[in-house]
Amino acid sequence: ATSAQAADPSPAPVTVAHRGASAYAPENTLAAIDAAAELDIDWVENDVQRTKDGKLVIVHDTTLNRTTDVEQVFPHRAPWNVADFTLKEIKRLDAGSWFGPKFAGERVPTLEQYMNQVSSNRQSLLMEIKAPELYPGIERQTLDVLRRQGWLDGHHVKRRLIIQSFSADSVKITHELRPEVKTGFLGTPAVADLPKYAKFSDQINPSYKTVNADYVAAIQAVRGAHGRPLEVYTWTVNDAPNAVKVADMGVDGIITNTPDVVRDAVEPA
Ligand code: G3P
Ligand code: CA
């Protein structure tokens, strides 16, 4: 290199399709990860919860009525908690029509079905354990499914999987059960508390509305659970100006419903 050459720019942040490419297909369905794949998006985010009969499913809200036709199918079961329905019941629900007629018949995926599709699309996964306080033991159960499907082996666990939660206890449990898995804490902890989170996390993942360049730098100045600088993946950024803004702050990842918009805004052509 000569002094006339510019220094290497820092790499563009990773673009993560939030609940899949959820601006274009119903969130947390196989159609949503396929929509991300069609846009050549490698990373998808999801939310894991548990049914009444102990099966893991991919759904964001702790109730089923926003993203399925549960109110029509089971009108007397309000408030339609995920935890109050068996997998067989949940599989009767249409998780696509609310989004658009072309997605009619889309189902709430099991974790196994979801992981198979992520694998067949050759994608990587930022998995959120949602509301773990409702589902004791969900971390171990999730890791068991991932192990059985080969996601804790070699390249996958090193490069293609991150498990995150808004619950520090849940992140800690995941880290202690399987220290090789990369983990993220969702939230905006005080800078003084970062070393505490860094004991069991590799990432701190805050809302983009809560960050500035100094905060991003303060996070990245701390070493995470695997000895590398803590990363920052921020959410949920759905427009180009905000994507450029957080990229300029130096974030490592951007979680977005519109991954094509974000990728085009932050990656060099
Ligand atoms: O991955 C970050 C983001 O998913 C956190 O918020 O409510 O969409 O799960 P939420
Ligand atoms: Ca989430």
Condensed to tens digits (0 to 9), the pLDDT of residues 124-134 reads 999 999 999 99
For residue 177, what are its two tokens?
A: 């059960």
Predicted confidence (pLDDT) per residue in 200-236, tens digit: 999 999 999 999 999 999 999 999 999 999 999 999 9
Instruction: Give the confidence band of 7 by pLDDT, cuts at 50, 70, 90.
Output: low
Nearest CA to ligand 1 atom 2: 235
Alpha-helical runs (H) found in the chain: 30-38, 70-73, 87-90, 111-120, 138-148, 154-159, 168-177, 194-198, 213-220, 240-249, 259-266
Pocket-testing residue among 14, 60, 258, ligand 1, by greatest number of atoms within 8 A of Cβ: 60
In CATH, 14-266 is 3.20.20.190: yes
* 18 has catalytic annotation: yes
For residue 147, what are its two tokens?
A: 């192990």
Which of 20, 246, 233, 206 minimizes the C-alpha distance to 118?
A: 20
Please name which ligand lies nearest the alpha carbon of 46: 2
Q: Tell me, in angstroms, the distance from the centre of ligand 2 to residue 45's CA.
A: 7
Please identify, by atom number, the ligand 1 atom nearest to the C-alpha of residue 128: 1
Residue 151 and residue 117 in contact, taking contact as beta carbons nearer than 8 Å: no
Residue 11's pLDDT is 87
**Pairwise CA distance, residues 195 & 182, whole Å:** 16
* 156 has catalytic annotation: no
Residue 180's pLDDT is 96
Look-up of token digits 């519109």: 258
Tell me the chain's radius of gyration from C-alpha atoms.
Answer: 19
Distance of CA 190 to the CA centre of its chain: 22
CA dihedral of residues 246, 236, 181, 83 (deg, nearest 10): 170
Nearest CA to ligand 1 atom 7: 60
User: What mean pLDDT is reported for the chain?
Assistant: 96
Write the ipTM. 0.98
What are the residue ranges spanned by the domains of the chain? 14-266
Residue 4's pLDDT is 44
Please name which ligand lies nearest the alpha carbon of 126: 1
Residue 182 and residue 143 in contact, taking contact as beta carbons nearer than 8 Å: no
Please name which ligand lies nearest the alpha carbon of 237: 1
Instruction: Give the confidence band of 155 by pLDDT, cuts at 50, 70, 90.
Output: confident
Number of H helices, E strands in the chain: 11, 9
Residue 236: cis peptide before it, omega within 30 degrees of 0: yes
From the list 18, 155, 156, 226, the catalytic residue is: 18
Residue 128 and residue 142 in contact, taking contact as beta carbons nearer than 8 Å: no
**Pairwise CA distance, residues 242 & 251, whole Å:** 12
Please identify, by atom number, the ligand 1 atom nearest to the C-alpha of residue 164: 1
Residue 8's pLDDT is 56
**Pairwise CA distance, residues 42 & 33, whole Å:** 10
Q: Tell me, in angstroms, the distance from the centre of ligand 1 to residue 251's CA.
A: 17
Nearest CA to ligand 1 atom 10: 60
Predicted confidence (pLDDT) per residue in 59-113, tens digit: 999 999 999 999 999 999 999 999 999 999 999 999 999 999 999 999 999 999 9
Instruction: Give the confidence band of 1 by pLDDT, cuts at 50, 70, 90.
Output: very low
| Choice between 159 and 26, residue whose per-residue pLDDT is larger | 26
**What residues are paired with 95 via a beta bridge?**
none
Instruction: Give the confidence band of 161 by pLDDT, cuts at 50, 70, 90.
Output: very high
Q: Which residues line ligand 1 (CB under 6 A)?
A: 18, 45, 47, 60, 128, 186, 235, 255
Taking residue 267's Cβ as centre, other Cβ atoms within 10 Å add up to 13
Which of 267, 189, 250, 238 minimizes the C-alpha distance to 10?
A: 250
Residue 33 and residue 117 in contact, taking contact as beta carbons nearer than 8 Å: yes
